[in-house]
């Protein structure tokens, strides 16, 4: 039975195989755990692996299916990894550090929804402490390595989730995105990464994630998995500060939607005018634009009028990190470089400046979104280069944050705006590293970006390209 499944089957196919009784949830979970045991010593993607509980969950799902003849939901029996800033009942939420010792009392809302859909929670994945850097490196857990080249970064802050999916350890994982933290690891690791519309996915038990910047989103190898995972985790809780109306139909319906001729803008320019993307990234961006034209879309150069947003972003980010720091049991064990950042944050603390930043961000979101009065979608680079070497988190916090600003050059503005954005592979560098572009939609525009992302995937498929056999066999 287990010989029929590849490590690189996507989650949709894994769920189908379980539903068609080609494999059991227990057998798939054992294969997943075996692959983690083989590859995680190389890649360092997991903070903890929940082997015993995952097998127990899988066995319960198999028994339920045998007794009722019905699967629990669209992810019945599929192992999913969770970034370690999300609560999983009975497991410590480390936030990427050593300052927490008490296990979470209950699942976060996104994890609860995954379980309700039948997912098996296989483990928790690495991040820089509190997700403050686009480099998944921490004192507590070390550096997470890129499956395409272990000498390179998996980016961050959802680098562990990205490395786990790209290497075939799991088919899908959950990340969080406060400045590009889903999309940048997707870019470096050759994946699909979705930052949903602000308020699409509940952040409960917290009222928000990085004030108004952060969202929870999926990292997957296929567009259909990305849509499926978003359908599963989408929804609000009574405590959520930010909400948005439910989509009229499941996002998965956009995968095979009838063709619509859209007007798509392509932009090379960084929202702050620096840095420029490198030549290989831009060549892949324009090749993707050509593919969209061949499909029948109107694609033309156009530049949004980006307002200055760095001050608001810094205040909101520092406020969000400070909020998370209050949740740990042993603040004295927070990393020195993060304590430096929290020290800077005290200069911007207080409800008044936070409320000012939120009001300014909402106003600037409205300004940015006027662009979508003229265009249906925007195509830009995701990251300015392919994956970079490890070490981005080294040095004083000012140097680290400056490196992070360069890496997140194209992504952070959309966390201020709140718009949905999907990152997807666009090709490979001369060194064989993934390249990426992001499709930005208007407010509540997830169906359009998923619709077009699926068209790109069919026109320029990437699933046949996988990391080197010495890492992913």
Residues in the chain: 473
| Separation CA 182–CA 198 (nearest Å) | 14
Q: Which of 133, 123, 124 is nearest to 184 (CA)?
A: 133
**Tens of pLDDT along 204-241?**
999 999 999 999 999 999 999 999 999 999 999 999 99
Distance separating the N- and C-terminal Cα atoms of the chain: 19
pLDDT digits (tens, 9 = 90+) for 142-171: 999 999 999 999 999 999 999 999 999 999
pLDDT at 115: 98
Contacts of 217 (CB under 8 A, 6+ apart): 174, 175, 176, 177, 182, 193, 194, 195, 196, 201, 230
Q: Distance of CA 204 to CAs 111, 195, 209, 214, 317, Å?
A: 10, 17, 9, 12, 18
Rounded Cα gap, residues 219 and 14, in angstroms: 16
Which residues are tagged catalytic? 83, 157, 181
Q: pLDDT digits over 84-127, tens only?
A: 999 999 999 999 999 999 999 999 999 999 999 999 999 999 99
Read off the pTM.
0.97
What per-residue string of b and e applies to 79-111 under the rule 16 or more CB within 10 Å gives b?
A: bbbbbbbbbbeebbbbbbbbbbeeebeebbbbb
For residues 57 and 60, what is the distance between their CA atoms, to the nearest angstrom? 5
Question: pLDDT tens digits for 427-453?
Answer: 999 999 999 999 999 999 999 999 999
Q: Which two tokens stand for residue 150?
A: 């272990």
In this structure, the strands spanning 172-177 and 79-83 are parallel
Report residue 359 CA to chain centroid gap. Answer: 26
Walk me through the domains of the chain, giving residue ranges and CATH numbers.
9-459 (3.90.1300.10)
- Lowest mean per-residue pLDDT among 80-84, 156-160, 274-278, 342-346: 342-346
Q: What is the pLDDT of residues 190-207, one digit of tens each?
A: 999 999 999 999 999 999
Judging by beta carbons within 10 Å of its beta carbon (0-12, 13-18, 19+), is residue 348 exposed, middle or buried?
middle
């Amino acid at each position: 039975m287990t010989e029929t499944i590849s490590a690189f089957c996507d989650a949709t196919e894994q769920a189908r195989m379980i539903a068609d009784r080609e494999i059991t949830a227990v057998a798939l979970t054992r294969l997943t755990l075996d692959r983690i045991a083989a590859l995680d010593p190389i890649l360092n993607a997991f903070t903890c692996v929940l082997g015993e509980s995952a097998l127990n969950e899988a066995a319960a799902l198999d028994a339920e299916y045998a007794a009722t003849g019905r699967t629990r939901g669209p992810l019945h029996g599929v192992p999913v990894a969770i970034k370690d800033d999300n609560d999983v009942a009975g497991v410590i939420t480390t936030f990427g550090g050593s300052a927490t010792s008490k296990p979470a009392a209950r699942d976060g809302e996104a994890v609860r929804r995954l379980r309700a859909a039948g997912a098996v929670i296989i483990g928790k994945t690495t991040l820089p402490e509190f997700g403050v850097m686009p480099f998944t490196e921490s004192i507590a857990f070390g550096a997470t390595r890129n499956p395409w080249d272990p000498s390179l970064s998996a980016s961050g802050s959802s680098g562990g989730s990205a490395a786990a999916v790209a290497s075939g350890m799991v088919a899908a994982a959950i990340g969080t995105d406060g400045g590009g933290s889903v999309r940048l690891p997707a870019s470096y690791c050759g994946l699909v990464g979705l930052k949903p519309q602000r308020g699409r996915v509940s952040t409960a038990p917290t009222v928000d994630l990085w004030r108004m910047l952060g969202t929870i989103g999926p990292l997957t190898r296929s567009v259909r998995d990305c849509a499926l995972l978003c359908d599963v985790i989408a929804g609000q809780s009574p405590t959520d500060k930010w909400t948005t109306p439910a989509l009229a139909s499941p996002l998965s319906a956009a995968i095979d939607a009838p063709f619509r001729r859209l007007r798509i803008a392509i932009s090379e320019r960084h929202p702050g005018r620096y840095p420029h993307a490198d030549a290989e990234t831009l060549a892949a961006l324009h090749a993707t634009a050509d593919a969209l034209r061949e499909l029948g879309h109107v694609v033309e150069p156009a530049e949004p009028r980006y307002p200055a947003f760095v001050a608001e972003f810094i205040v909101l980010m520092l406020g969000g990190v400070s909020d998370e720091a209050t949740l740990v049991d042993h603040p004295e064990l927070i990393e020195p470089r993060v304590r430096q950042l929290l020290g800077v944050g005290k200069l911007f603390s207080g409800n008044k400046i936070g409320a000012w930043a939120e009001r300014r961000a909402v106003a600037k979101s409205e300004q940015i979104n006027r662009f979508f009065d003229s265009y249906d979608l925007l195509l830009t680079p995701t990251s300015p280069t392919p994956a970079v070497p490890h070490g981005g988190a080294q040095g004083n916090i000012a140097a680290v944050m400056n490196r992070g600003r360069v890496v997140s050059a194209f992504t952070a503005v959309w966390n201020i705006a709140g718009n949905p954005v999907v990152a997807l592979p666009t090709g490979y560098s001369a060194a064989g590293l993934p390249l990426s572009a992001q499709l930005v939609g208007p407010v509540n525009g997830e169906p359009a970006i998923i619709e077009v992302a699926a068209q790109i995937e069919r026109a320029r498929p990437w699933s046949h390209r996988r990391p080197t056999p010495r890492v992913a066999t």
